[in-house]
């Protein structure tokens, strides 16, 4: 295991222009990783690239990418691998969040959430697995959410999208069991990023800098599954999953 960890010095991150993706990029760069950073906003990626290069990052590849465009995903993976030589870790992080009651949330926002958080996620995982299979090794990291543990009023579409992420990675982990490809599911609670700043309540919220460090720590430890932070969410998320509907309904 130690040999594999020392070799894993390149990481591909989707949704790297802001939030957790950006913070993970900063944290990985501090630890000497070579980076492939993608997002829809190329201008933000290029600004981050300059920042990281000034701080001594060994190599930073950036590319505009909409993960819902599967042909573009395949091409950007090929370009990143050619630039870096290998893609040891892929963090499928790109995601959006729209909250609203079912039947009242504009369906265009429902569709966007599903297209990005599920279809785009699966396209990223598919491209990563083809890369890893060709290399003969790799570490796939999927960013789910504690929202996957239970559907909450006004959070139905986001929770459903993250539940799909969790289930998909469970299947992939079983398919890869005992082989050279590792699969990690990380489920953040409330970390102070733009995706949740409009929420009415953010229990146990932590700064994004702390969240990024915790995520990268867990990735380097090669865990299978974890909430972020582990405490109190490892307990709280599982408690929420078994609460009666009458209690969950009070969250409206």
Catalytic residues: 158
Cα(229)–Cα(231) distance, integer angstroms: 5
Contact by Cβ (8 Å): 65, 76: yes
Distance CA 190, CA 197 (A): 9
Q: What backbone phi and psi angles, to 5 degrees, belong to 49? A: -55, -45
Query: First and final CA of the chain: distance in angstroms?
Result: 46
Tell me which long-range contacts 232-235 makes (C-beta under 8 A, separation of at least 24): 232/204, 233/146, 233/187, 233/189, 233/204
Instruction: Please name which of 156, 121, 157, 155 lies closest in space to residue 141, comparing C-alpha atoms.
Output: 121
CA-based R_g, the chain, Å: 18
Sign of CA dihedral 195, 197, 202, 208: positive
């Amino acid at each position: 295991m130690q040999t594999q960890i020392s070799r894993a010095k390149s990481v591909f991150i989707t949704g790297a222009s802001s939030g957790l993706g950006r913070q993970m990029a900063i944290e990985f760069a501090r630890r000497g990783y070579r980076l492939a950073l993608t997002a829809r906003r190329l201008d933000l990626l290029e600004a981050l690239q300059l920042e990281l290069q000034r701080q001594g990052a060994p190599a930073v590849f950036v590319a505009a990418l909409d993960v819902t465009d599967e042909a573009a995903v395949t091409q950007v993976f090929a370009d990143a691998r050619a630039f870096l030589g290998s893609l040891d870790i892929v963090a499928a992080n790109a995601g959006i969040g729209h909250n609203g009651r079912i039947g009242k949330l504009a369906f265009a926002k429902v569709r966007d959430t599903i297209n990005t958080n599920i279809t785009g996620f699966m396209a990223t995982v598919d491209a990563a697995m083809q890369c890893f299979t060709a290399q003969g090794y790799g570490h796939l990291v999927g960013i789910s959410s504690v929202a996957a543990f239970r559907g909450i009023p006004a959070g139905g579409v986001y929770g459903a999208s993250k539940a799909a992420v969790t289930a998909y990675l469970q299947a992939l982990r079983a398919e890869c069991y005992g082989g050279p490809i590792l699969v990690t599911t990380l489920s953040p609670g409330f970390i102070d990023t733009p995706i949740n700043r409009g929420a009415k309540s953010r229990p146990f919220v932590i700064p994004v800098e702390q969240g990024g460090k915790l995520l990268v720590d867990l990735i380097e430890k090669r865990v299978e599954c974890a909430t972020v932070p582990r405490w109190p969410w490892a307990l709280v998320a599982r408690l929420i999953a078994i609460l009666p509907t009458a209690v969950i309904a009070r969250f409206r």
